[in-house]
Amino acid sequence: MFTNKQRTTRLRNGATGLALLALLASANANALQVTVSIDNLSVDNGLYLTPLWVGFHDGSFDLFDSGALASQGLEDLAEEGDPSGLNSGGVDGVIFGPAGFAGAPIIDPGETASLSFELDPVANRYFSFASMVIPSNDAFIGNAESIEIFDAAGYFLGLDLTVLGSQVYDVGTEDNNGLGAAFSTNGGASTDTNNPIALHSGLGPLLGSTNGAGNFVGTAANNFAEADFTQVGFEVARIGVNAVPEPGTLSLLGLSLFALMSRRIKRA
């Protein structure tokens, strides 16, 4: 037979244990809040980026395939910086620059922008992103293959990705002559093309010109190195997907509950 004190202690210990189990179960079963961040790694006289479109989906969405023609939504993003035509079928969002330029919330060289999302580990297991590189006729960064941010068991993997200049794409819908290019002072009218998506060959005539902010696109004294993304090792952007709170926070909370339960058992 148990005394009243023993019964009370056992009930408290049982409640604490259930709370711990509920906490650990919720970490896997419930939606997870994540923050997506983008760092424009360019320096002064470097490249700007339009607001970053991101999509979290089940893997059935295909943003683009190198060697194929672009969708209308991707064409609009790569030519005009307009992400409104992109829809992954899951959780979508657009990350704007905190300052921008003349009302346009672009992401300046050296600037960081972020946005938080609540995700289902199954329905939103994969990640896609896209942003126009400016100034350009139709250059963009994005991932042809969806990136897994949760594994098959629902465990959060996260993401820390550096996008290199060798990974900048040409959407293939405008001639890269610098005329009519977005965020450029060159002026003129763009020329439509119907080419497949391919890796970009470089800004060409835009190098050394001025952009919409009145800054040079690379400087001749530095051989246009600030904006010539065809250089080996050129870094365009860093994109991260991190849990909020970090998984370690949940672990510490779980350990605290376990320690509390252990102390109560010792008192009994």
SS (H, E, C) 185-208: CCCCCCCECCCCCEECCCCHHHCC
Residue 64 lies in a domain: yes
Cross-strand partners of 118? 33
Whether residue 18 lies inside any domain: the answer is no
Q: 94, 77, 159, 98: which is closest to 126 by C-alpha? A: 159
Q: Is 257 left (phi over 0), alpha (psi -120 to 50) or beta?
A: alpha
Identify the pLDDT of residue 248. Answer: 52
In-domain check, residue 267: no
Output the six-digit token pair for 96.
């704007």
How many Cβ atoms from other residues are within 10 Å of residue 248's Cβ? 9
Q: What is the mean pLDDT of residues 110-123?
A: 97
Torsion, Cα 233 179 100 159, to 10 degrees, reads: -40
Distance from C-alpha of 17 to C-alpha of 260, rounded to nearest angstrom: 10
The Cα-based distances of 126 to 87, 119, 154 in angstroms read: 14, 10, 11
Cα→Cα distances 141→6, 24, 185, 187, 268, Å: 64, 38, 22, 24, 62
pLDDT of 71 reads 98
Number of structural domains in the chain: 1
Residue type, 170: D
Mind listing the pLDDT tens digit for each residue in 66-108? 999 999 999 999 999 999 999 999 999 999 999 766 667 999 9
Residue 255 within any structural domain of the chain: no
Location of structure tokens 């290199």: 164
Say yes or no to pLDDT of 30 above 80.
Answer: no
Domain assignment present for 190: yes
- Judged against a pLDDT cut of 80, whether residue 167 lies above it is answered with yes
Question: Would you say residue 256 lies in a domain?
Answer: no
- Say which residue, 152 or 9, is predicted with more confidence: 152
Please check the confidence at residue 225 and state whether its pLDDT lies above 80.
yes
The more confidently predicted of residues 53 and 99 is: 53
Query: Do 134 and 48 touch, CB atoms closer than 8 A?
Result: yes
Query: By percentage, how much of the chain surpasses pLDDT 90?
Result: 77
d(CA 136, CA 141): 12
* Alpha helix ranges (H) inside the chain: 4-29, 72-80, 247-267
Judge whether 203 lies within some domain: yes
Length of the chain: 268
**Residue 117, in any domain of the structure:** yes
Q: How far is CA 50 from CA 86, 97, 268, in A?
A: 14, 8, 62
List pLDDT tens digits, range 170-221: 999 999 999 999 999 999 999 999 999 999 999 999 999 999 999 999 999 9
pLDDT value of position 104: 77
Write b or e for each residue in 179-213: b if 16 or more Cβ atoms lie within 10 A of its Cβ, otherwise e: bbbbbbebeeebeeeeeebeebebbeebbebebbe
Q: What is the CATH number of the domain that holds 57?
A: 2.60.40
Q: Which residues form the domain of 174?
A: 36-246
Distance CA 218, CA 232 (A): 16
Structure tokens at 30: 């419930």
Tokens in use for 171? 């959407």
- Residue 25 pLDDT more than 80? no
Model confidence at 51: pLDDT above 90: yes
Name the phi and psi angles at 133, rounded to 5. Answer: -90, 125
